[in-house]
Homo-oligomer: A and B are copies of this chain.
Amino acid sequence: MAQHRYVLPESAIPTQWYNVMADLPSPPPPPLDPGTGQPVGPDALTPIFPMALIGQEVSGDRWIPVPDPVREVYAMWRPTPLHRALGLERALGTSCRIFYKYEGVSPAGSHKPNTSVPQAYYNREEGVRRLTTETGAGQWGSSLSFACQIFGMECKVYMVRVSYDSKPYRRVMMETWGGTCVASPSTETAAGRAILEANPDSPGSLGIAISEAVEEAASREDTNYSLGSVLNHVLLHQTVVGQEAKQQLEMAGAFPDVVVGCVGGGSNFAGLAFPFLADKAAGRDIRIVAAEPAACPTLTRGHYGYDFGDTAGMTPLLAMHTLGHGFVPPAIHSGGLRYHGMAPLVSHLVHLGLVEPRAYTQTECFREAVRFAGAEGIIPAPEPSHAIRAVVDEVERAKEEGVERTILFNLCGHGHLDLAAYHAYLTGEMTDLELDQSELDRAAAELADLPALA
């Protein structure tokens, strides 16, 4: 019988994170201080991050050790399984081989604990007892609540209003792990109050929620801030995913021709793809595809330049693909992909032509998610259904070209808390939200006053 799943013992959990910075043909442009226009130094970040993470953020070392206490928590669910998508291959009638890494087996149901655990750990090591953060769909907020609970810390989560209202159970999950969750924009911060004054019905956005969480962390001595995606150290922590996948593909006697992930801030994509970029850098023929929502098309329709990571303009300026920090994405079901910007590392790789971006509408993604659920059993989160949609594209392309390819993607989370979205799809109530080009233009115009890329 053909093998469905490749599992590894605990001893195979990576002992080091892989830092793609070491294998880039050129470094990405540095973050800038918005006041001076000069690169930010570590000191600018110490009010909200611990030194260990600041060090990882700027490190050029190829390998960075995973502390033993972090590895021990990883062992609660890692290594995650690699699945051969035998059912999906049959359903698609393809002779391509499709593999997926399944991160939905973590306590929070996604890849997010891969970084929430080390972030909580490093903060606690430096005496911090309380963390704030933002969350979109709720995956990140619940993952940080879990990690804080494990290390005996407090966790305060600003959850994007539209998700807070449509996903009450993600909040309950955070509370079950001892976290506190408020809807953003909230009245608890100056940033939140300013947004609410301008628009009392604001659906919120990740950019707004980041402003609130950063403001609270910066203004409280006992509190640091924790980000669930975008930054270099976050992407770094996720590379356990791709490293394990390599070991598992070796068990299967396979190596991918195409690696696929969905992108919002970029972290699950990077976690799977970056370890394979090392192979690409070494000359191996491998294509890497990033799938984003057509309703928040940062990589495919955004501008590559300097922008704030948050809406209120409290963060350093990041060199990234962006729709403008004032852009509020439509209320699609993939809350985790509703971000105006993109990880600087992912943006840089797209700019260099090493990563191919694609955009898909939510209904076409849900159509594939339902087919996947019927064929593979697992009900995907809406976010990775974008990756599945891209995989189907790759299968069709291989058929047209008359070749058989090995395709690897990251199934970064399950959809157990997204069944309202499935209901909307199954009953025909789901629509695709057409983006107004004038809205994109308006958002991009905000960038005119910010420094240009060199």
Contact = CB atoms under 8 A, between A and B. Distances in A.
Interface of A: 1-5, 7-10, 68, 71-72, 75-77, 83, 87, 105-107, 109, 146, 149-150, 168-169, 172-173, 175-178, 370, 373-374, 376-379, 414, 416-417, 419-420, 422-423, 426
A374 B178 contact: yes
Contacts of A146: 377
Nearest to A8: B7
Contact of A423 (B172, B374, B416): B172
For A105, A150, A379, which residue has the most chain B Cβ atoms within 10 angstroms? A379
B377 A77 contact: yes
B373 A176 contact: yes
A385 to B, nearest CB: 12
A377 B426 CA distance: 32
Shortest 6 CB-CB distances between A and B: which pairs? A107-B377, A416-B416, A169-B419, A4-B75, A172-B419, A172-B423
Given A1-B68, A3-B75, A107 B379 contact: yes
A330 to B, nearest CB: 23
A420 B83 CA distance: 31
Contacts of A377: 76-77, 106-107, 146, 150
Contacts of A109: 416
A257 to B, nearest CB: 25
A380 to B, nearest CB: 10
Number of copies: 2
Nearest to A421: B172
A219 B76 CA distance: 49
14 contacts: A1-B71, A1-B72, A77-B377, A106-B377, A107-B376, A107-B379, A146-B377, A150-B377, A172-B420, A173-B379, A176-B373, A176-B379, A177-B373, A416-B416
A10 to B, nearest CB: 6
A4 B175 contact: no
Contacts of A150: 87, 374, 377
Given A105-B105, A109-B416, A176-B422, 7 more contacts: A1-B10, A1-B72, A7-B8, A76-B83, A76-B376, A169-B416, A172-B419
A75 B377 CA distance: 11
A422 B145 CA distance: 16
A15 to B, nearest CB: 11
A108 B127 CA distance: 41
Nearest to A113: B377
A426 B146 CA distance: 16
A107 B378 contact: yes
Nearest to A72: B1
Contacts of A75: 1, 3-5
Contacts of A1: 10, 68, 71-72, 75
Contacts of A370: 176
Contacts of A416: 109, 169, 414, 416-417
